[in-house]
Chains A and B, each alone.
Chain A
Amino acid sequence: MSAPTLPDDSAVGPPERLHPLFLVKGIGGSIRGLAGLYAFLGYLVISGQWSFAILAAIASLLFGIVGGILYWRRFEYRVGQSEIRIDSGILSRRHRSIPFERIQDADITQGPLDRLLGIAQVKLETGGGSAGKNAEEGVLQAITLQRAHELRKLIRARRAGTPSVDRQVQEDRLPVYAMDLRRLLIAGAFNFSLAIFAGLIGITQTFGDALGFDPLSERFWRKLLAASAPLQDFALAHRGVVAIAGSTLLVVIGAATGVIRTVLLDFGFRLDRTETGLRRRRGLLTRTDVTLPLKRAQAALVTTGPFRDAFGWSELSLKSLASDEGGRRAHVLAPLAKHEEINHILSELGWRPLPDTPGWRQVSKSYVGAFALAISPLLLPLAVQALVYPPAAIGFAFGLAGAVGLRWLAWKRTAYALDGDRLLVRTGWWRRRLLVLPFARIQSADVTENFVSRRFGTANLKLGVAGGTMAGEIIPAIPSATARQLREQMLSLPA
């Protein structure tokens, strides 16, 4: 082996392998990863080349098994005095060393299979600016759960330079926030989603031709109707009943989707305060255990919708330099919480509670005006349509009016406020968002104008935040002079 470290160097620690059960998980993963293979196999099956298809399936299975074994054989990690080393790679070897002071924490994730086998995946959270780009950085795919907890404890002790707080003490403390079953079901009800239909349409679009099943073509429905003539007569005779039954079914499916998704993700949600941050555990089948270091928090985000807002519920998440599981950029701290609970979590973070009346300053009406102007070219096809086929034009006109109306509703809610050393930005009507951004976390500020907004004398103020979206955080449509003044006020404070 071409390891640059001497195998018996005590400063580097003894080499350790992944748990052998990694093979069970890893082979499944490496086979699942070969998406192109399925298309190929599917093609072979459809074109009737069965023997070749079976051969290809066996070959790829072997490939997966051998690949998994080789990966396992060639993967070693060492826990040393001052760093963790990971040597990996089958052909091109990678020797990575991660110093303890760079490791923020260890995230432990257990999928359903992992929990059956008693193993866990450990991700060493280094939280550099490159997080996300290099997600592979420091992931131990499968080690025993016990070893995972040992490792985490060790990392915390090394980081702090002091012995870690006993786990038992932590367990006894009250959680900062937790979800009971009732809360979980309420959250699920608000996550009403018809996404499953979109998914079904996607699947039938992709595979429908092969299955002779294409709900988007008229012929399919004609054939189906012809085959079910008695049903058709019944449906025509009881149109009202069918409509009610259909809508009820939609509502039930939508609600069920929301509840199932929420329960899977947020079951047993619990947030605890640790020495360095907030520790979050959640999940029904896949349990995750993530600690968010306080120092890494960049901005807080309170999101809600018109229905949830009416009941006083909202979600709290945190923008952070580290990325959350599943590539989400914001760490969810509370999926469904009342305002007092959000303030409580913020105070645990060391942030001041949100003021009740922060002195909102509404943005300019040009937020609506410029939007209307931007979509005004669509009036031309509308006029053409009105001449050719008026009914379609009416629908189109309603669509345009609706878009402007929604924009107007959003404008009513779009406002910003200065709260001491932080900025509050409230946007959106359907997706209500409240951003809490400390001035010290603003990385850059753009004032942008274009030839439309200049007519209104307004500009957008775009703020660069670490761990935010590519678009940045925007205060839209404020007078240019105000934008510049605001920017100066926020950035001129000595850091």
Chain B
Amino acid sequence: MPSDEPNLLPVAPGYKNVLRVRMAIAGLVLTGTAFIVDRVLLAPEGYGGLLVGTSLVLAIALIIVAPQRIYRRLRYGVGSHLLQVVRGWLFHTDTVVPLVRVQHLDVVRGPFDKMFGTASLVVHTAGTHNSVVTVPGLAPGRAAEMRDIIREHVGTDAA
């Protein structure tokens, strides 16, 4: 059978910045929690600063390393009748959605998306598992374009 799998494309580079901001927030929460635990539990024992230091190093490593890797492994493609999203580093997921099974579509832009010029395309299927498939980090024009491509197929399923 001739391969119908679509050509896989990388998402907009701005998505790396979105990821960095998200990681930074996660790191901040982690460090903040660590700080409180550190002050309350460890400082009286004489181990103050240990936990905060560790989590700070971890958070910085996360901000530097993770976005690049997540971005590099995130690929998407729209073919004549399939949408494919490939993602994941340790846990690798390769999702395919037949366009005729799509129920409805959203283009979502959060505050960080607006800041860095990206958008997410959210595809809803009738499935209980994986009923929402997201393609993050698209340029807004591209997201709208994909939505229009996929919209043509919505509801053409006989069932």
Contact = CB atoms under 8 A, between A and B. Distances in A.
B91 A488 contact: no
A444 B127 contact: yes
B94 A446 contact: yes
Contacts of B98: 442-444, 491, 495
A468 interface: yes
B8 to A, nearest CB: 13
A454 interface: yes
A492 B95 CA distance: 14
Contact of B94 (A129, A447, A466, A471): A447
Given A441-B159, A466-B127, A492 B1 contact: yes
B1 A469 contact: no
A116 interface: no
A469 B129 contact: yes
A489 B3 CA distance: 10
Interface string B1-26: 10111000000000000000000000
B129 A470 contact: yes
A450 B126 contact: no
A100 B96 CA distance: 35
Given A464-B125, A472-B127, A454 B159 contact: no
Contacts of B100: 495
B33 interface: no
Binding site secondary structure of chain B:
loop
A449 B95 contact: no
B130 interface: yes
Contacts of A462: 129-130
B131 interface: yes
B93 A446 contact: yes
B3 A443 contact: no
Contacts of B54: none
Given A444-B133, A446-B94, A495-B158, A466 B128 contact: yes
A111 B145 CA distance: 54
A473 B127 CA distance: 10
Interface of B: 1, 3-5, 81-82, 88, 90-98, 100-101, 103, 125-131, 133, 156-159
Interface of A: 129, 295, 321, 329, 440-451, 454, 462-473, 484, 487-489, 491-492, 494-495
21 contacts: A440-B159, A442-B98, A443-B98, A444-B133, A448-B88, A448-B94, A450-B91, A451-B91, A463-B129, A468-B129, A471-B129, A472-B129, A472-B130, A488-B3, A488-B5, A491-B96, A492-B4, A495-B98, A495-B100, A495-B101, A495-B158
